[in-house]
Structures are given as C-alpha cells and as structure tokens.
Amino acid sequence: MRFIIVASACLIMQWANAAPQRIASVNLCTDQYLLLLAAPGTIATVTWLSQKPESSYYYERALRIPVNHGEAEEIVAHAPDLVLAGFYSARTTTHLLQQLGYQVELFDHPRSVKQVREQLRRMGDLIGRREQAERVIKTMDARLQRVATQPADDAPTLMQYAPGGYTIGRDSLVGDIMYLAGWRNQAQNAGVAHLGIVDLETLLMIAPLALIDSPLAPDSYSFAEQMLKHPVLKKTARPKFTVTIERKLWICGGPMVVDALIELRKARETIEREAIESEQRS
Amino acid sequence: MTETLLEARSVSVTMGSIQCLNRVDLSLKTGEITGLIGPNGSGKSSLLKAMAGLQKTTHGSVWLAGKNITHCDSRERGKAMGYLEQNGDVHWPLPVKRLVELGRIPHLQGWQSPCEQDQRRVEAALKQTDTWHLRERTVTTLSGGEKCRVLLARVLAGEPKMILADEPIAALDPAHQLMVMESLRQFAAAGGAVIIALHDLSIAARYCDRLALLKEGDLIIKASPNDVITEARLASVYGIKATLRCDENDCLTVTPYALTDEAKLLSP
Amino acid sequence: MTNQRMPMWLGLLMGSVIVLFFISLTVGRHSFSLWQTVQELLAQEQSVYTLILIELRLPRSLVAVIVGATLGLCGAAMQGLLRNPLASPGILGSSSGAALFSVIVLYFGFHAISPWLLPIAGMAGALLAIVLVYALTGNDSTITTIILAGVAINAIAAACISLAINLAPSPYAVREIALWTLGDLSKVSLTNLWLMLPTTLIGWLMLIGCGQALNALSLGEQTAASMGVNVARLRWRIFLATALAVGAAVATVGAIGFIGLVIPHLLRPLVGYEPRRLLFASALGGAVMLLLADISVRLIPSQIPLQVGVLTALVGAPFFLYLIVKLRKELP
C-alpha cells in the first residue's frame, strides 16, 4: 500500500514536472545548447550541421543522434514534445509546426556574451535542466573573469574579413568577443554596426593591423574566397597579420566562446610584444 | 589568237544518288560566248560550279590555263574568273560603289584597302554597265535590273579573264536583258571568255557563239546556235513545240507554243 | 560620303575609350586625386592610394576595355560570318559554354593545379558550344535554326552550371551563380589580367585578318568562294578566335550579355554596313559600353554588389526592342 502511494507520488511529480523527453532542434545554435545541457536520451533529433567538425563544437556528442535537414516531415516523424529553432532559419518549417500545435521555441542568434548567458538560462528552463545550465554559466564566468578585458585606447586594430567582403560589427557575438579580448574593431569605421560588406578599397583605406580568418570550409574555391587572396593584400603594409579562429568556437553561443576569446587575446598580446621588440631593435 | 582558258574534261558530278553531270567535255576560248541551255535540272548550275572550282567533281577534272583547278591557288582562281551566282543577293545594304569595290578583293591582300588603281577599275566597271549614276545609292534601293547590272559591274571590276554566269537575266525586263548581254558581248570582244546559262533561247541564239545543250546531266550537243536549236531537238530535250524563225542577220527567234504529246502525258 | 563620316566617328569612339578609361580610374568608394597619385607613383613612393590605383582600379579598367572590345569585336565577326544582325557570341552559346567549364575548373579546385587552367577551360567551353551549335545546324542553315540551336545549348549549359554550382564544395558557390550569368569586374587583379591577355590577343589577331573575307561574304558563300575566299577555313578561324577571346573573358569576369549584340548593330550604319570596317569600330564601341556600365555600377549606391551585366541588360534589352520595332516599321 505504501509502495503504491510512493509510486503514484513519483509518477505525479514526473507528470507535474513534465520535462520534455523528445526534443527536436532545427538550428545549429540551438543544437549546441541542447547537446551541452540536455539529459541523455532526451534529444530526438538535431540538424545535420551539428555533426560537422568545422561548424559544431559538440559534434562528437551529435554523432549518435539522428539528424534532420530542417524539413517539417522529418521533425514530425520524431513526434517531439519540444521544437527549438532560430528566428531566421527553417521559417516555413517552424510556422508549419506551430500551426500543427507543436511547442516551438525560437532563439535569436546571440549578439553578446551576456545574451549567451541569458540563452543558456532560458534553454535550461525549457528542457528542465536549470541546475546544469547554472553550473555551465558559473564555469564560463569564472574563465571569463580571468581573461576578459577592455581595449585600450591604442589597442591594435582588427577586422573580420570573410569571403565576399563580409565583416561584423560591435553588435554581434564576434564583435563582443573582439572587444573583450582587447582589440579595437574597425568595422564601425566602415559604418558596419552588425553585419555588412566592405570592398577591398575600403579595407585598404581603413587598414586594420590584423584580419580575422574564420573559414567556413577551408580549402574550397569560389570568387568570394578568392577575394581574400587578392594580390593587393600581399602588397600592403596593413593588414599585416591574420588571426585564425576556428569557426565552431564562435559561430554559436556557449562556453566555447571563451576559447575564442583566449585565442584572440593571445594573438593580440603576441602582436603587441613583437611590436615593442621591433621598436626596441630599431 | 584564241586560247583555251578553261576546260572541263569528262566531268561527272554525283550528289547523293543523283547524277548531276555525266562526263561532260567543254572548253572556253577567248573571245567566245558559250551558252548553256537545257531544261531545269539538266545540270547547268552544276557544270558552272564545277568549272568555277566551287563543286568537287566525282570523275574528270577542270583545267584552268593548263593547270588542274584543284591545284590552283584560290586567289589565282579568283583573279582569273568572275562568277555570277544564280539569284545573287547582297546581305548588307552596302553603297553600290563599295559593293563593286568588293570585286577587287582577289587583287588585294588581307589588310589592304583599295588604292588609286583599284578605284579606277571600279569606275570603269560602273561606266561599262551604265551604273555610274547609281554609285552612291544603297544596293537595297535598286530595282532588279539595276542590281543585276551592279553585280555584273562587281565581276568586271575584278578584271577577270572569263565570266561564268548562272542565269543572270532570268528576272529582268527585255531592256535590261539586252543591256547585260551587250556588256558580255563587249567583254568577249575585248578578249574575255563567257559561259552563261540561259533559259531564253532567242537571246541565247542571238548572243552566243556556241551553245551547249544539256539534258539530265548529259551533254547532248555543242555547236553553233543554228545547229543546236532545231525543232526536233527542242521536242526531244525540252518537250515543246516551237516555231523557229531566222531574221536578216541569220539570228534565230524561238517561239514555243505547245507541249509535245509525250510531255503532255507527263504533266499532271 | 560614308568614307568621310567614318573617321570622325572613329575618332570620337577612340577618344571616348580613353576618357572613360581615366574616369574609371578615378571612380571608386574613395575619391583621391589621380594626378597626385600618379606623381607619387613616378616618384616610386607607395601609399594606400597608389596601391588602390595600381592593384584594384587599373586592372579593373583595363579588363573592362579588353573584355568590352572582345565582345564587340566577336559580335561583329559573328554577325559578318553568319550574315545576320542577330548573331552574337551569347546567342550561339559560347558565353554559357565558357562559363560552364570555368565553373567546373574554379569550384572544384582544378585551377589550383595551374592558374592557366581557368582561361583555357573558358576557351574549351566556348569552342565546344560553338562546335555543337554548328554540328546541330550544318552548313547552309537559316538564322532561325542557328538561334534555336543556340537556345538549346544555352539552356543545357545554364542547367549544368546550376548543377555544378550546387554540387560545389564551397558554401559560397551558390551565391555566386548570378556572377556567371551577369558578370562582375570588382574582384579583378593584375594576375587575372595577365592570365586573360595571351588567349585574348591571339583571338584578336586571328579576327583582324578576316575583314576582307567577311566583306566578300556579303555576296554569298558561293560568290565569296569564287573570289578566292576559303569559306570553311574562315568559319573555323572565326569560331576558334571567338572561343579564345570570349572564353578567356568569361573565365575572368563571367558572362556579360548584350554588348556583342547591340554594339555592332548601332555602329553598322556608321561604317556603311561594311563588315570589315565594323570590326575595329565594334571593338571600340564594346569597350565604351562596358566601361560605362562598370563606372555606373560603382556610382549607383547599393547595399549588395551590383553586377555589371545588369546594366548592360537594362540598356541593351530596351535598345534591342527598339530595333525590332524599327525593323517592323521598315519592312513592307
């Protein structure tokens, strides 16, 4: 009799908590949060991109999970009780799923480390793993405190120059990390606050000291990628350095952005040291 | 002294399964106008093209000034011969003078423009064909007769030794027909050779020194007009009944008036 | 009369090319004094302006002149050969063929083997397209047949380009499909210029000698042959020359339409309809048109890069319509 009461209480508690047991994600960045925080066996499906080592930090964890290509049919087949998606990707799928009555939660692409924190918390709440989320945030903040800083007035200048001339401004995750690593992001000189295109002439005029190379697919060819190898960039004094950051470290939010920050900071310090040494020599 | 300028020796031309020409021998001599007559499809155009070196012969060969025409340099061939295409047309609305200047191309190198001498030749050709007053007009604004004379002027501008003309007067009014034939006669009198395919038998009889009669690829006879054009031959080759009349200059006039009985059986 | 008019128009065209070339050197997102920069260059000083001028604006302007001249020249040659004012390298599919082979060489990494593979691929593609159109239509075909064959080849090439780009490993490839069909001069470097130059010059030289023969063709193939023109050799010479020059151009900047069609049309009355004179005039006219289009592309403010082919189409297509209307009025 006592056993039945305890068992019923447990069942009722489970039902009351009702943490999602079959979570589907159709966005790479929600994939990352999910792979990081979710309890084992609760992930129904993640996107195919999360299995790619170049773009997905947690790709190893994703290898054992069925993948989807963002199609509504695939998602429905898994009968999820929670669907996670981004604002701009797979829009038709998310609309359709919403119409069909699934619980769809949308996450915007994080534009700062602060937003990453907020999103981790929100994710924790949604999937019933709030404690796990807080632990992750705490570790992340601890590391962050040791390395985050602000750019000095004469800090070296930096710009991201992606194939096609795309650059990223202060109002973005990458921009925030650049700031916290102590670099001065020159994208604002080109009038780019969030995302924009800068042609080669403007790049030469702005002349940042270093460029960020964060290749989506190394060793592939297209005119957009050829632009980065334009001979003029070899002939100019500035940009002089290239800092390579693995894309998977900061394409999405998560504690791995601190790794990107550390890389950037190290690069800055190396460059500053070299500058001082060459000045002393001359 | 007459010399043989162009000679077809036993020329045969086969196109697909059709035998267009069957072992035809014909030669062009200076000062002579040779008329090619025969019904449609008898091989007149093929013979002219073969003799101009534009059509490969299946058997036999064509000899230009003692050399096999296939071994001749194409520029030499272009300088020696003037070819008037059947239904010749001009693709761009060129000014007449410029069109006639094209006749000088065999004499010019690839990059050369016509010089003084070329211009004089062009002027002479225009005057010879009585088209000098048309020289600034655009070719597309000319009447059929004027265009024909202009095309002849183009041929004459090239100073050829012989003219091969494929039914050049078929679409002209009687006055223009006579004008063109007179120009050809002048050309022959000056030492050139002419071979002209014709449908108008009276004109052929009047202007040609010799006639070659073709039927279904075979050369039936080549002789003087009076010998070639007889009622019997007209009936067997053309399938027509015609009245023949000789005028005071011994020139034949041919007036067809009916089909022969055999021809009537073949007609629908 | 026409003899006297030609030199004046020719002088005007040549002057326009030179003037537009210098304007092209001064146009860009950042204005600086051209004169000052040239002085710096002569004094062997290097500044960001000399760098922009030599490495970015100079190759762009030179390529605009060369590609424009190529398209105009080849358009005039094709129209003279086929005796039809609608023929152009684009209609016969050589631009799409060149684009297809260039796409395959670029996006699948073959050109890493040697940068020369890219212009050569363009040439091979252009030649294949022309040969296919010719094989489909044969010797004595009408312009309708030729255009239909060109439409077929263009459609097949466009489909294959789309397929190749979708299969390409680079994630940026799909965004670039417009570039191949509309052209883009903004990413040109001096290296591209040197790679494009040899085959282009060979093509030009081969075409320059054809003028007299094209004139003779005005009278028809038979008559031209009787004047000593080897029509078959002329045809293949023009096909090959067009493939060489247009192929290299397309491999470098993508396919730019309408120049080879509109410029010979515009200039034909000015040269007295003579195919030989039209060749040089069309080369100049093509250079003028492309320079104008490329300058305009830089002056029109836009968020995303504007393709130069958009402008040539916006100007060329209405002009083409106007020509058709005029033609219909002239016909009885």
pLDDT, tens only, C190-206: 999 999 999 999 999 99
Query: A80 Cβ partners below 8 Å, 6+ apart?
Result: A20, A22, A23, A24, A44, A45, A102
B56 and B74 part of one domain = yes
Count of the separate structural domains present in chain B:
2
Residues of A engaging C, defined by a Cβ cutoff of 8 Å: 163-164, 197, 199-202, 204-205, 207, 216-217, 219-227, 230-232, 235-236
- Chains B & C: contacts with CB separation below 8 Å: 89
Domain end call among A104, A120, A144 = A144
- Could you tell me if residue B139 is inside a domain? no
- Could you tell me if residue A4 is inside a domain? no
Tokens of C142: 């009408």
pLDDT tens digits, residue range C216-231?
999 998 999 999 898 8
Those chains having 3 or more beta-carbon pairs within 8 angstroms of chain C are A, B
- Could you tell me if residue A62 is inside a domain? yes
A132 and A181 part of one domain = no
- Could you tell me if residue B68 is inside a domain? yes
Count of the separate structural domains present in chain A:
2
- Give the DSSP letter of residue C330: H
- Measure CB to CB from residue C107 to each of A163, A200, A221 and give the nearest one: A221
Average pLDDT, chain C: 88
B71 and B178 part of one domain = yes
Q: Is the pLDDT of residue C49 over 50?
A: yes
| Backbone phi and psi for residue A246, each to the nearest 5 degrees, phi listed first | -65, 135
B82 and B165 part of one domain = yes
* Distance set, CA C84 to CA B90, C217, C259, C323 (Å): 12, 11, 16, 14
Asked whether the beta carbons of B176 and B182 are under 8 A apart, the reply is no
Tokens of A21: 């047991």
Q: How many angstroms away from the CA of A230 is the closest CA of chain C? A: 7
| C45, C54, C55, C191, best to mutate vs chain A, most A CBs in 10 Å | C55
- DSSP string for residues in B148-183: HHHHHHHHHHT--SEEEEESTTTTS-HHHHHHHHHH
Nearest CA in chain C to A232: C55
pLDDT tens digits, residue range B96-116?
999 999 999 998 877 778 888
Helix, strand, coil in percent for chain C, rounding step 5? 75, 0, 25
- Measure CB to CB from residue B102 to each of C216, C268, C272 and give the nearest one: C216
Q: How many angstroms away from the CA of C269 is the closest CA of chain B? A: 9
Amino acid C23: pLDDT: 93
B82 and B178 part of one domain = yes
CA atoms within 13 A on the CB side of B187: 35
Nearest CA in chain C to A237: C48
Amino acid A36: pLDDT: 93
Average pLDDT, chain A: 89
State the residue range of the domain holding A188: 157-281
Helix (H) or strand (E) holding B231: helix B231-233
The reply to whether residue C30 touches residue A231, judged by beta carbons under 8 angstroms, is no
Sign of CA dihedral B171, B177, B181, B186: negative
Query: A193 Cβ partners below 8 Å, 6+ apart?
Result: A169, A170, A171, A187
Contacts of C171 in chain A (CB under 8 A): 216-217, 220
Q: Which residues pair with B64 in a beta bridge?
A: B6, B67
Interface membership of B15 toward C (CB under 8 Å): no
Asked whether the beta carbons of B197 and B44 are under 8 A apart, the reply is yes
- Strongest mean pLDDT among A208-217, A234-243, C280-289: C280-289
CB atoms within 10 A of CB A76: 16
Q: What is the CATH number of the domain that holds B63?
A: 3.40.50.300
- Could you tell me if residue B199 is inside a domain? yes
A126 and A182 part of one domain = no
Looking up tokens 């003579």 gives: C274
Asked whether the beta carbons of B6 and B193 are under 8 A apart, the reply is yes
Looking up tokens 């958009």 gives: C310
Q: Which residues pair with A228 in a beta bridge?
A: none
- Give the DSSP letter of residue B114: P
Contacts of A205 in chain C (CB under 8 A): 30, 48, 52
For residue C138, which amino acid is it? G
| Backbone phi and psi for residue A214, each to the nearest 5 degrees, phi listed first | -130, 75
Domain end call among A114, A144, A174 = A144
- Give the DSSP letter of residue C87: -
For residue B208, which amino acid is it? C
Q: In degrees, to the nearest 5, what angle opens at C-alpha B130 toward C-alphas B128 and B135? A: 105
Using only C-alpha atoms, chain C has a radius of gyration, in whole angstroms, of: 20
- DSSP string for residues in C231-270: HHHHHHHHHHHHHHHHHHHHHHH----SHHHHHHHHHGGG
Amino acid C1: pLDDT: 39
Q: What number is the average pLDDT over the span C276-281? A: 93
Give the distance from CA B217 to its chain's centroid: 17
Q: How many angstroms away from the CA of C77 is the closest CA of chain B? A: 14
pLDDT tens digits, residue range A27-66?
999 999 999 999 988 999 999 999 998 889 999 999 999 9
Tokens of B138: 């655009």
Domain end call among A144, A175, A205 = A144
Asked whether the beta carbons of A167 and A191 are under 8 A apart, the reply is no
- Strongest mean pLDDT among B86-95, B166-175, C128-137, C242-251: C242-251
A31 and A91 part of one domain = yes
- Give the DSSP letter of residue C305: P
Identify the three-state secondary structure at position B95: strand
The reply to whether residue B108 touches residue C212, judged by beta carbons under 8 angstroms, is yes
Query: C213 Cβ partners below 8 Å, 6+ apart?
Result: B110, C224, C229, C234
A139 and A168 part of one domain = no
Nearest CA in chain A to C304: A197
Helix, strand, coil in percent for chain A, rounding step 5? 50, 15, 35
Choice between A99 and A4, residue whose per-residue pLDDT is larger:
A99
* Residue A99 to residue A93: CA distance in whole angstroms: 10
Contacts of B82 in chain C (CB under 8 A): 226
Q: What is the CATH number of the domain that holds A165?
A: 3.40.50.1980
The reply to whether residue C48 touches residue A236, judged by beta carbons under 8 angstroms, is yes
B207 and B243 part of one domain = no
Amino acid A213: pLDDT: 86
Interface membership of C107 toward A (CB under 8 Å): yes
Looking up tokens 């021998």 gives: B25
pLDDT tier at C2, thresholds 50, 70, 90: very low
Q: How many angstroms away from the CA of C272 is the closest CA of chain B? A: 6
Asked whether the beta carbons of B129 and B150 are under 8 A apart, the reply is yes
Sign of CA dihedral C124, C129, C132, C133: negative
- Measure CB to CB from residue B95 to each of C2, C215, C229 and give the nearest one: C2
The reply to whether residue A235 touches residue C55, judged by beta carbons under 8 angstroms, is yes
Contacts of C267 in chain B (CB under 8 A): none
Those chains having 3 or more beta-carbon pairs within 8 angstroms of chain A are C
B221 and B236 part of one domain = no
B75 and B12 part of one domain = yes
Q: Is the pLDDT of residue C25 over 70?
A: yes
Helix (H) or strand (E) holding B240: strand B240-246
Query: B89 Cβ partners below 8 Å, 6+ apart?
Result: C219, C220
Q: How many angstroms away from the CA of C262 is the closest CA of chain B? A: 17
Using only C-alpha atoms, chain B has a radius of gyration, in whole angstroms, of: 19
Q: Is the pLDDT of residue B1 over 70?
A: no
pLDDT tens digits, residue range B26-47?
999 999 999 999 998 888 999 9
* Residue C156 to residue C111: CA distance in whole angstroms: 23
Tokens of B241: 């009944």
Tokens of C146: 């030729």
Identify the three-state secondary structure at position C178: helix
Give contacts of B 241-260 with C, CB under 8 A.
Answer: none
* Residue B185 to residue B174: CA distance in whole angstroms: 16
* C-alpha closest to that of B150 among B179, B174, B175: B179
Report whether CATH 3.30.2350.10 matches the domain C2-330.
Answer: no
Amino acid A240: pLDDT: 86
pLDDT tens digits, residue range A234-268?
888 888 888 989 889 999 999 999 999 999 999 99
Q: How many angstroms away from the CA of C214 is the closest CA of chain B? A: 10
Interface membership of B111 toward C (CB under 8 Å): yes
Answer yes or no: is the ipTM higher than 0.85.
Answer: yes
Q: What number is the average pLDDT over the span C292-299? A: 93
Helix (H) or strand (E) holding A171: none
Contacts of C28 in chain A (CB under 8 A): 201
Nearest CA in chain A to C302: A197
- DSSP string for residues in C132-156: HHHHHH-TT--HHHHHHHHHHHHHH
The reply to whether residue A217 touches residue C171, judged by beta carbons under 8 angstroms, is yes
**Burial class of residue A98 (count of CB atoms within 10 Å of its CB; 0-12, 13-18, 19+):** middle
Average pLDDT, chain B: 89
Amino acid A11: pLDDT: 63
Residues of C engaging B, defined by a Cβ cutoff of 8 Å: 1-2, 83, 208-209, 211-213, 215-220, 222-223, 225-230, 268, 272-275
Q: How many angstroms away from the CA of A72 is the closest CA of chain C? A: 22
The reply to whether residue B106 touches residue C227, judged by beta carbons under 8 angstroms, is yes
* Distance set, CA C166 to CA A178, C40, C118, C162, C171 (Å): 34, 46, 19, 6, 9
Q: How many angstroms away from the CA of C152 is the closest CA of chain B? A: 26
Peptide bond into B268 cis (omega under 30): no
pLDDT tier at A15, thresholds 50, 70, 90: low
A277 and A161 part of one domain = yes
Q: What number is the average pLDDT over the span B55-74? A: 88
Note the residue count of chain C.
332
The reply to whether residue C228 touches residue B158, judged by beta carbons under 8 angstroms, is no
State the residue range of the domain holding B16: 4-91+157-229
Q: How many angstroms away from the CA of B108 is the closest CA of chain C? A: 9
B82 and B15 part of one domain = yes
For residue C220, which amino acid is it? G
State the angle between helix axes of C34-42 and C2-26 in degrees (0 to 180), rounded to the nearest 10: 80
Nearest CA in chain A to C298: A199
* C-alpha closest to that of B197 among B183, B186, B182, B208: B208
Give the distance from CA C153 to its chain's centroid: 18
B225 and B265 part of one domain = no
- This prediction has a pTM of 0.87
* Residue C190 to residue C57: CA distance in whole angstroms: 10
* Residue A205 to residue A190: CA distance in whole angstroms: 10
The reply to whether residue B92 touches residue C218, judged by beta carbons under 8 angstroms, is yes
B180 and B259 part of one domain = no
Q: Is the pLDDT of residue C137 over 70?
A: yes
At least 3 CB pairs under 8 A between chains A and B:
no
Amino acid C140: pLDDT: 63
Choice between A3 and B25, residue whose per-residue pLDDT is larger:
B25
The reply to whether residue A232 touches residue C176, judged by beta carbons under 8 angstroms, is no
pLDDT above 70 as % of chain B: 99
Q: How many angstroms away from the CA of C268 is the closest CA of chain B? A: 10
* C-alpha closest to that of B184 among B28, B66, B7: B28
- Could you tell me if residue B215 is inside a domain? yes
pLDDT tens digits, residue range A75-125?
999 999 999 999 888 888 999 999 999 999 999 999 999 999 999 999 999
Identify the three-state secondary structure at position C98: helix
Q: What number is the average pLDDT over the span B168-191? A: 90
| C273, C274, C327, C330, best to mutate vs chain B, most B CBs in 10 Å | C273
